[in-house]
Amino acid sequence: MGLKTSKMANTTLHQAEDTNTGTIAAGASDFFFSTEDNRKQFQLHGQTFNAFELMNDSAQVFDIDFDARATDTAARRRRIFGKSTLVIEPKDNFFFSTVKVTNRDGANTTAANELKAIARIVKEV
């Protein structure tokens, strides 16, 4: 798993990896990157995550809500289909601190470790 990089030189200041450790039932959600360590890194570096990669090894469709408690959730939602990858690069200028994944399948449960995510704080050098 590796983020695509732009032609500008970037430095990763912090990287967090997360996966669904349990099953995610149809219609249910799970939160990624909501640890105290990540909050400390945001304060240390003066910014939140701005690079993201999510690999969906399941057959289910997921809605991905970045900072799900934000007021404009529609603008901060992405959808990922089964057996695919969602990538957000630093050049997209998209900042977030938490990720909520919701299983949109009407009947199927996603097994543990089917979603693998990497988030990074990246600064241009």
Give the residue-averaged pLDDT of 88-117: 94
- List, for residues 49-74, the tens digit of each pLDDT value: 999 999 999 999 999 999 966 566 77
Quick check: is 104 in a domain? yes
Quick check: is 1 in a domain? no
- List, for residues 111-120, the tens digit of each pLDDT value: 999 999 999 9
Task: Report d(CA 5, CA 88) in Å as an integer.
Answer: 10
Note down the domain range covering 16: 10-124
Contact between residue 53 and residue 17 where contact means Cβ atoms under 8 Å apart: no
Quick check: is 120 in a domain? yes
Task: Report the pLDDT value the prediction gives residue 57, as an integer from 0 to 100.
Answer: 97
Residue written as token pair 């983020």: 3
- Total structural domains within the chain: 1
Quick check: is 5 in a domain? no
Percent of the chain residues topping a pLDDT of 70: 89
> How many other CB atoms sit within 10 Å of the CB of residue 88?
22
Question: What CATH number does the domain containing 53 carry?
Answer: 2.60.120
Contact between residue 125 and residue 11 where contact means Cβ atoms under 8 Å apart: yes
> How many other CB atoms sit within 10 Å of the CB of residue 70?
13
Quick check: is 107 in a domain? yes
The structure's pTM equals: 0.86
Q: Band of the pLDDT at 106, cuts 50, 70, 90?
A: confident
Quick check: is 43 in a domain? yes
